[in-house]
A and B are shown apart, each in its own frame.
Chain A
């Protein structure tokens, strides 16, 4: 079986919605999405799956770059996108169900976003 955990394909931000649309048309399932904060940039991972075959795409974006939501293509993305927005501060626009920072009822704003120059 192919090692799906290691194969992470980097795509530019502009292609995110196109790739998500292609995955939807192919009948694939959104398996997970998550954000990582590395070297003053965000790395966003989106995994799509059919049966046991999984493809993961990585999008690297700047801290102030706007990211289009894929929740109009994959409805369940709204939970992942609200999480990225509230825990990391990723600027995601157009989430179908946007909680406006109320999905996680936590006291700290964007707790996983480090100060500029941090690790």
Chain B
């Protein structure tokens, strides 16, 4: 296990060390201590390594991650795992706004709550939130899956495209063009896998599914206000 102390090591040095890891590196485990809310921790990784961040982080933790597993043993600031391509990001605590924004792939697990705009503009990422998500989550969500084991705030899935939303608790309101959809067996299977990957013991049958009504897909004067 390599240990980097952000109390004494510059952020640039940390990220450069992580970027230097090749696909066949034998330095596969990294521990970051004293993150002290630093921004851009472990961003742009592209190797099958495991990074354990011992504490809470600031903006864009694990942004644009590929291949790596980044585990935040604390809470994460805005934009955790933004634009993730692959790999896994786990947040033990809560996540601030825009968690998983524009993510193309990989899995983001938030064991606490996620704030507003969780999964905004997501493009293939899978997000599992053990707690609640704030307003405007999955706004313009294109593809991928958002699982909310708690409640969802206002305007869930506004202007959604083809992403799937699974919510166990209440939904304060649905956004434009987002509707509740039938939970078919194939969706239960997808959800079962997501819950398992997210380390969540909830049962798929407890969830409801939401998605696009596909009424905004083509420009229509009735939608132009």
Report if A and B associate in a common complex: no
Q: A residues bordering B, Cβ < 8 Å?
A: none
